[in-house]
Amino acid sequence: MAFSVPPLPYAFDALEPYIDKMTMEIHHDKHHGAYVTNLNKALESAPNLQSKSLEELLANQCAIVPDNIKTAVRNNAGGAINHDMFWKIMAPKAGGNPSGNIGQAINSTFGSFDSFKEKINAAGAGRFGSGWAWLVKKGSGIEIISTANQDSPVMDGLFPIMGVDVWEHAYYLKYQNRRPEYLAAWWNVVNWPEIEKRFNSAK
Ligand code: MN
């Protein structure tokens, strides 16, 4: 069974004015679409891997993937799993302050929600080139990291609770070179109930 792109769980223009419709169309259909197409293509030569989950393909630096397709799987399975999460942890009429277990964990780890936001924004703004800023589950705690390209925290055994895409394709049409402005706006579409679910299910 080939991998596919799940439909966006809301309309392309639902995250306006923070993320514009055209960015969402191109990002979901073309960019996420290409990761899935290229992953399926790479796995044509490894039929035994086609039934694996994205997590299984990425685990331990793609340990189960043969060398000749390792880079393609790392980039494209990473792109697929990162975007599967990204669409879900955003929603229209969202944002605000986190509550529940995730709200507590953020406050106890980072002191306050504002301080957490600052650290995520700094991780995103400071990522040179393309990549992601993440909040991950590590052991019994949580931690902010960033990764390059489409590298997933799953490759290092970390569970991504939430992450923000800082590739230019995520913001350039509306924000051009102003990545910090995109990051500031992004908090208005963060879907805390979904992030709470991910946090509670994190292994
Ligand atoms: Mn992206």
Which sequence spans correspond to the domains of the chain? 21-88, 100-201
* CA–CA distances in Å: residue 103 to residues 126, 162, 197, 199: 25, 13, 12, 10
Q: Tell me, yes or no, if the pTM score tops 0.85.
A: yes
Q: Indicate the pLDDT class of residue 1, thresholds 50, 70 and 90.
A: low
What is the model's pLDDT at position 95?
98
Give the CATH architecture of domain 100-201: 3-Layer(bab) Sandwich (3.55)
> Per residue in 77-113, pLDDT tens?
999 999 999 999 999 999 999 999 999 999 999 999 9
3-state helix, strand, coil in the chain (%, to 5): 55, 10, 30
Residue-wise pLDDT for 41-52, tens only, equals: 999 999 999 999
Position 135 pLDDT exceeds 90: yes
Confidence of residue 203 (pLDDT cuts 50, 70, 90): low
**108 C-alpha vs ligand 1 centroid, how far in Å?**
30
What spacing in Å lies between the alpha carbon of 82 and ligand 1's midpoint?
8
Mean pLDDT of the 13-29 span:
98
What's the gap in Å between 24 CA and the centre of ligand 1?
10
For 21-88, CATH gives 1.10.287.990
What is the helix (H) or strand (E) element at residue 76, kind and residue range?
helix 67-88
Task: Using the mean position of ligand 1's atoms as its centre, give its distance from the Cα of residue 186 in Å.
Answer: 14
The pLDDT score that the predictor gives to residue 104 is 97
